[in-house]
Amino acid sequence: MAASSSAKVLSTFKPGLFNSKVAIVTGGGTGIGKTITRELLNLGCKVMIASRNVERLQKAAKQMKEELDKDGTADISYQRCNIKEEDQVQSLISNTLKEFGKIDYLVNNGGGQFLSSIGDLSTKGWNAVIQTNLTGTFQMCREVYNQWMKDNGGSIVNITINTISGAPGGGHSGAARAGVDNLCKTLALEWARNGVRINNVAPGPIYSETAAANYKDLPFLTNTIPIIPCKRLGTTEEVSATVCFLLSRAASFMTGQTVTVDGGASLYGHLIFKAADHENSEPYTWGEYTAPTLADYYKNKNPK
């Protein structure tokens, strides 16, 4: 399967759309975040990428600068930051302000999870995923607001997951992302008067080299294709385009919203979870009537 992050930059947006703007993209060195960074740079934005693995950030920044720096204007910087750590978040924001003088956009893309059913999940594992995806997003939002956006406005986009039907197999992440969803609505209301907009993008199954590696086997992603009405995986470019739209003036009347980018999957079926057949629900009887069960379903299906 071909990687979605091609060296050729494609953008549907007008060249120069983000000239003189400054963005922070967490997790901007890999996968979805890297494509967002590449598109922002291509549209004239200055970008600070940040995550835990500084070697990977450095390599990605160098690669994108070389790719895009046709006229010497691609302006990208990187800083190590674990979004779980308050002091590192504070210095990421202050150092970005020192380097670029302002912050117009924040993309909270850094995050992740591991697969586990809730019964098998340790409290340590639960806390790690909540701290990364929920607390990390909260700390990034609060710091960028207090250090800059409170007085200057701005636009924030959080990358989440679709949590409308829970997240079996990833309940820690589902709970964290549902928290981000609610936080987004609160901040949209609390910060509108400061000229701050905040929205979420909830991608469905998106192919990237890191996503495939994260889940050790690509089938975890490709197995979802039959229940995606568009009948393919999404690309990092399709997520990036939605992020650029939400950051831009084209979305100036949108705040507190979650935009789902999933080929219609969330309308159709659960991506990985199938409810197992069982006869363990308490029977419900009223008068002479008993609620039909699976046994009745199979009896009707195979009358003999």
Ligand X SMILES: NC(=O)c1ccc[n+]([C@@H]2O[C@H](COP(=O)([O-])OP(=O)(O)OC[C@H]3O[C@@H](n4cnc5c(N)ncnc54)[C@H](OP(=O)(O)O)[C@@H]3O)[C@@H](O)[C@H]2O)c1
Task: With beta carbons less than 8 A apart as the criterion, state whether 211 and 192 touch.
Answer: no
User: Judged by CB under 6 A, does residue 79 bind ligand X?
Assistant: no
Site string for ligand X, 192-211 (x = CB under 6 A): -----------x-xx-x-xx
Among 25, 140, 161, 175, binds ligand X (CB under 6 A): 161
Nearest residue (CB) to ligand X, 14 versus 62: 62
Instruction: Identify which of residues 196 and 201 has a Cβ nearer to ligand X in the complex.
Output: 201
Residues 261-300 binding ligand X (CB under 6 A) are none
Residue with Cβ nearer ligand X (62 or 299)? 62
Query: Which residues contact residue 65 at a Cβ distance below 8 angstroms, ignoring those fewer than 6 apart?
Result: 74, 76
Which amino acid, 258? T
Among 200, 203, 177, 280, CA closest to 35? 203
Of positions 4, 37, 51, 258, contacts ligand X by CB under 6 A: 51
Q: Closer CB to ligand X, residue 31 or residue 263?
A: 31
The CA distances from residue 296 to 52, 160, 224, 275, 276, in Å, are 55, 40, 30, 18, 16
When asked if residue 56 is in the footprint of ligand X (CB under 6 A), the reply is: yes
Phi, psi of 61 (to 5 degrees): -65, -45
Question: Could you say whether residue 29 binds ligand X (CB under 6 A)?
Answer: yes
Q: Which is nearer to ligand X, 214 or 293 (CB)?
A: 214
Residue with tokens 């674990």: 82
CB of 234 to ligand X, least distance (A): 7
How many helices and strands, by DSSP H and E, does the chain display? 12, 11
In angstroms, the Cα distances linking 89 to 16, 24, 204 are: 29, 11, 28
25 closest CA partner among 109, 113, 142: 109
**Whose Cβ is closer to ligand X: residue 153's or residue 168's?**
168
Q: How many residues bind ligand X (CB under 6 A)?
A: 30
The amino acid that residue 278 corresponds to is: H
What minimum distance in Å lies between the beta carbon of 72 and ligand X? 27
Asked whether position 84 contacts ligand X by CB under 6 A, the answer is yes
Binding site for ligand X (CB under 6 A): 26-27, 29-33, 51-53, 56, 81-84, 109-112, 132, 136, 159, 161, 203, 205-206, 208, 210-211, 214
